[in-house]
Amino acid sequence: MSSQASHPEAGPVPPPKWQRRKEERPSEILAAAAETFVEHGYAATKLDEVARRAGVTKGTLYIYFEGKEALFKAVVRENIVPLLLSAEQSLGDEGAPADQLLRDLMYNWWRGMNAAHLGGIPKLVMSESANFPELAQIWFDEVVVRGRELFGQVLRRGIARGTFRPVDVDLAVRVFLAPVLMAAIWKHSMVACEKDGFPVEDYLRISLDILLRGLQVPAAAGTEKRDA
């Protein structure tokens, strides 16, 4: 009775070589799922493809996630906090000039998003917003609203310090948020259509160039100004 094949504890614990993967599995699956959902959208994504990209089989997905919808929601939810964090960490030295802060915010956020493969989430959420409104709401509250606050703080400070001319901050933040969102969406949709690629960093640079100039206070001497 002792020397049976099915004796789990018969010998010393076998080296859990593959077990190490157990902990990584969920995040590997999430990453594969994120890619696939971003590429094809929720309904067009086949779990077979997700599984293949994650290097497992379909059945395994169900060990870690309740189903397709749960997986989708996890993809979005797991990426919301990082997306915001990435933004918040993009702020440079808070003592720096407001225009510099805005530059940092936009540039670094973009770079952070890309480094962490977070860029597809905005496109995904917008594409599926009608099918998953509560998810869209979460994303909106966590990322958009707080992104707006972030930009708003900088704008307000800049205005207070005289770096920027006074503008309706609530609206202006949308103007500054747009290029980053646009870049993220574009990179995950139309970029294949551009013959020469889309020079995102150049696009952000010139956006900032124009936008920041547009916020400059009119030349004090009263000679220059148009709006009044």
Partner DNA sequence: AATGAATGAGACTTCATTCAT
Partner DNA sequence: TATGAATGAAGTCTCATTCAT
| Contact residues: DNA, CB under 7 A | 16-22, 25, 45-48, 56-60, 62-64, 66-69
- Choose from a second copy, DNA, none: what does 181 bind? Cβ within 5-8 Å by kind: a second copy
Contact partners, residue 212, CB within 8 Å, separation at least 6: 99, 102, 103
Q: Work out what residue 168 binds among a second copy, DNA, none; the CB cut-off runs from 5 to 8 Å by kind.
A: a second copy
Distance in angstroms (rounded) separating the CA atoms of residues 143 and 135: 12
- Residues in contact with 79: Cβ distance below 8 Å, sequence separation at least 6, in sequence order: 34, 118, 121
Q: Taking CB under 8 A as the rule, does residue 1 contact a second copy?
A: no
* Side chain identity at residue 3, one-letter code: S
Residue closer to DNA (CB basis): 58 or 174? 58
- Window 4 to 33, contacts with a second copy (CB under 8 A): none
**Cα 178 from Cα 166, distance rounded (Å):** 20
Q: Pick what 41 binds: DNA, a second copy, none; C-beta below 5 to 8 Å, kind-dependent.
A: a second copy
Q: Between residues 39 and 104, which has the closer beta carbon with respect to a second copy?
A: 39
According to DSSP H, which parts of the chain are helical? 19-40, 47-54, 58-64, 68-88, 98-115, 120-127, 133-139, 146-160, 169-187, 200-215
CB of 225 to a second copy, least distance (A): 9
Compute the least distance from the CB of residue 188 to DNA, in Å.
20
- 166 touches a second copy (CB under 8 A): no
Whether the CB-CB separation of 185 and 110 falls below 8 Å is answered with no
Residue 28 or residue 142: which is nearer to DNA going by CB? 28
